[in-house]
Structure 1
Amino acid sequence: MDRRPGLSARLKLTLSYAGFLLLGGGLLLVVVWVFVLRWMRDVDAGAIQRRFGVVIVLGPDRSELLGGFYPAAAAAMGFLLLFGLLGGWFLSGRMLAPLTRIGDAARMASTGSLSHRIRLLGRKDEFRELADVFDAMLEQLESHVAEQRRFAANASHELRTPLAISQTLLDAARNDPARDQGELLERLHAVNTRAIDLTEALLLLSRTDRRSLTRDVVDLSLIAEEAAETLLPLAEQNRITLDVTGEKAHALGSEELILRLVTNLVQNAIVHNVPDGGTVTVHTESRHDASVLQVENTGRPVPRELVPTLTEPFQRGTQRTRTGEHAGVGLGLAIVHSIVRAHDGTLDLVPRPAGGLIVTIRLPRERAEVSQQARP
């Protein structure tokens, strides 16, 4: 916003320091005048001489003292004013130096340079705490921007792949009119379905990032049963045993998004499993501070160093793949992570020693239920 020019903070502090110094000096002079000069009495030298027979030699009387006091007081006030201005300008410059560095860093950040850090040295005070908070904000912002750039690049690549395949199939059909049209339509349908799934996943991911949710009371056990029933044909096709265990677990959140969360977890657990004879277990329980959903599956061993990257967009298991009937679009766990974060919950991924993964979701519970269980 446009603002009219005004005094700088350094000049204001300088004037404040000088003003307080003048005020203190003036009060000191007033005290001297009130308690020394004003109450000085003239001595009656003749009366003392007549009474005691001695001669008293008096110094200057009160009028002479006042006549000499005023110039000295004016000179002292002038010195205090000059000293206050110079000292205030120097001290305010020293005090405001960290703010100058913070302002320079903010201007650099506004131009798009997010790699600069202030890193103020010295013991902790208000300015250094502000600088540390600003550095942390810049670091998070730089990480977020880099993540968004990677996401945009990956999304563009993923969207370009089905479009390129469609273009290739159409060119082949145009160059070879005698080619089987049924096979062409089937492949185009599969490619188009994949592009639609990817677009819907991207829209869902952007929606959950905004955190515009309508929160209702949701039973995670019912959601788990619904997701398992939907994915049971896929489990049977892959010869995977799918079990749902546990108890009722009420959480506050969007039923639609939590259903998508559980569906993604169960689908990933089925797809990323052993070829034959694997298991997937979905367990729900209610704890004191949260409602818990746990999905455990068998499968190939997952390196621990790979676990933190599994929630990144377009990351699929141990390698990136873009083919396969149920390979997905690489946004399953990224969407899960985004939904959990939008519900103020937590997501934990732990590799099983024998292979596979244990995914634990904790969501905030219904407030009334929590307060009821907290009573003795």
Structure 2
Amino acid sequence: MRVPVAVVMRSRPRSSARLKLTLSYAGFLLLAGVVLLAVVWLYMVRYAPQVISTPEGTLAHSVRLRFAPAVAAALAFLLGFGLVGGWFLAGRMLAPLTRIADAARMAANGSLSHRIRLEGRSDEFGELADVFDTMLERLESHVAEQQRFAANASHELRTPLAISQALLEVARDDVTAGRAELIERLRVVNARAIDLTEALLLLSRADRGSFARESVDLSLVTEEAAETLLPLAEQRGITLEVTGEKAQVLGSAALLLRMVTNLVQNAIVHNVPVGGVVRVHTRRQYGVCVVWVENTGPVLAPALLPTLTEPFQRGTTRIRGDGHAGVGLGLAIVASIVRAHSGALDLTARPAGGLLVTVRLPGAPRKP
């Protein structure tokens, strides 16, 4: 039996930081007053008998007697002034922390839309508030993305299951239906559900970054991916060109192979009907390994490019009616694998049509 984990929030402390700072300010001011008055007292003990002197010494003695109450009054004033001033200054200094704590409390309760927006401060508190706002913005974006992904994944998984149920109900009600045709249609639907599930698992694995890293040559990876997809390219009349140089990176060979395979398959499937070209090139430059995949195809609107890496997002130019339509996770998996390898992914629409995809990954250190 699993015990649910609850978020434990500390109650407000009995001794607040403002009170501690107030006591610290007052104590420091009081200590400074004691030191100052001690110096004055030592001065009077050392030099007052010589400056203020009478044959009996009564005047110097009376000065010392009047000095003690004055010292007590001065110290009492310093203590009161230190407490009041310290309380005010501590409140002013800790006001940003109060706003940050309120924002954190709202975030803990599930509200991620609140922002601190601390203006007019360029100190450590302002930097902390800016960092906290950035964190909240990323958390809100991540949670929204996960919710959208979960909804889309549920919808995509429900579709093949609903189709399978409909086919089985038809077969149950119509005993004359062809068994071979039913089995084939169920096989196709089940294969799509399996592909979708595997893609979701791969996407989750890449997002977590839970994989062993080894030295991988991207040029060999692109050659392997091209060799695997060459029959598909020939079937569609696509010319597949692979060039480049050795590009060594640290990462997962399986994930990097899937990344390049998805890019090349996407370039083949979303191409012109006749005489299409797919070019794959690798290189290493200034410590960065680059893989770019370029293809001919229909002209893409610039507004469509940011949506291509989102899960289950299919533009009108991406829909295919054949067996290689995919499950809408191809470029989403690519983007996730690139992020997991601390790389960058750029999508550029070619003016003549088609897409240029550039992947930049940190190169592995060269061996001496």
TM-score normalised by structure 2 residue count:
0.93
Cα distance in 2 for residues equivalent to 1:356 and 1:24: 76
Q: Secondary structure at the match of 2:48?
A: coil
| Alignment map for 1:1-376 (pairs within 5 Å) | 5-41=13-49, 60-318=58-316, 321=319, 324-369=322-367
Q: Which sections of structure 1, spanning at least 5 residues, go unmatched?
A: 47-57
Q: 1:124 to 1:242 in 2, by over 3 A?
A: same
Aligned residue identity for 2:324:
H
Cα distance in 2 for residues equivalent to 1:26 and 1:365: 64
Structure 1 position 295, deviation (Å): 0.7
Larger of the two Rg values belongs to structure: 1
Correspondence for 1:49: none
Q: Which has the higher mean CA deviation after the structures are superposed, 328-337 or 281-290?
A: 281-290
Q: In angstroms, what is the RMSD of aligned CA positions? A: 1.9
Aligned residue identity for 2:27:
G
For the Cα contact (< 8 Å) 2:289–2:362, is it kept in 1? yes
Aligned residue identity for 1:211:
G
Q: 1:172 to 1:45 in 2, by over 3 A?
A: closer
Q: 1:44 to 1:338 in 2, by over 3 A?
A: closer
Q: Secondary structure at the match of 1:38?
A: helix
Q: 1:44 to 1:165 in 2, by over 3 A?
A: closer
Q: Secondary structure at the match of 2:297?
A: coil
For the Cα contact (< 8 Å) 1:244–1:281, is it kept in 2? yes
Aligned residue identity for 2:274:
D
Q: Secondary structure at the match of 2:294?
A: strand
Structure 1 position 324, deviation (Å): 3.4
Cα distance in 2 for residues equivalent to 1:78 and 1:323: 88
Cα offsets for 1:160-179 (capped at 9, x unmatched): 11111111111111111111
Q: Secondary structure at the match of 2:292?
A: strand
For the Cα contact (< 8 Å) 1:243–1:280, is it kept in 2? yes
Q: Which sections of structure 2, spanning at least 5 residues, go unmatched?
A: 1-7
Q: 1:70 to 1:44 in 2, by over 3 A?
A: closer
Structure 1 position 249, deviation (Å): 1.6
Aligned residue identity for 1:278:
G
Q: 1:215 to 1:143 in 2, by over 3 A?
A: same
Cα distance in 2 for residues equivalent to 1:298 and 1:92: 65
Cα offsets for 1:197-218 (capped at 9, x unmatched): 0000000000011112211111
Aligned residues: 359
Correspondence for 2:3: none
Q: Give the 4+ runs in structure 1 shifted more than 3 A.
A: 1-6, 42-46, 317-324
Cα offsets for 1:138-181 (capped at 9, x unmatched): 11110110000110010000001111111111111111111111
Q: Secondary structure at the match of 2:280?
A: strand
Cα distance in 2 for residues equivalent to 1:44 and 1:67: 15
Aligned residue identity for 2:220:
L
Cα offsets for 1:279-334 (capped at 9, x unmatched): 11111112122111111111111111211111111123446758532110000000
For the Cα contact (< 8 Å) 2:100–2:129, is it kept in 1? yes
Aligned residue identity for 1:136:
T
Q: 1:320 to 1:263 in 2, by over 3 A?
A: closer
Q: Secondary structure at the match of 2:49?
A: coil
For the Cα contact (< 8 Å) 1:306–1:318, is it kept in 2? no
Structure 1 position 44, deviation (Å): 7.1
Structure 1 position 337, deviation (Å): 0.6
For the Cα contact (< 8 Å) 1:294–1:358, is it kept in 2? yes
Cα distance in 2 for residues equivalent to 1:319 and 1:236: 21
Cα distance in 2 for residues equivalent to 1:143 and 1:105: 17
For the Cα contact (< 8 Å) 1:102–1:118, is it kept in 2? yes
For the Cα contact (< 8 Å) 1:302–1:318, is it kept in 2? no
Q: Secondary structure at the match of 2:47?
A: coil
Structure 1 position 92, deviation (Å): 0.8
Q: 1:187 to 1:322 in 2, by over 3 A?
A: farther
Aligned residue identity for 2:30:
L
Cα offsets for 1:2-41 (capped at 9, x unmatched): 6895411010011001101111111111111111333322
For the Cα contact (< 8 Å) 2:53–2:59, is it kept in 1? no
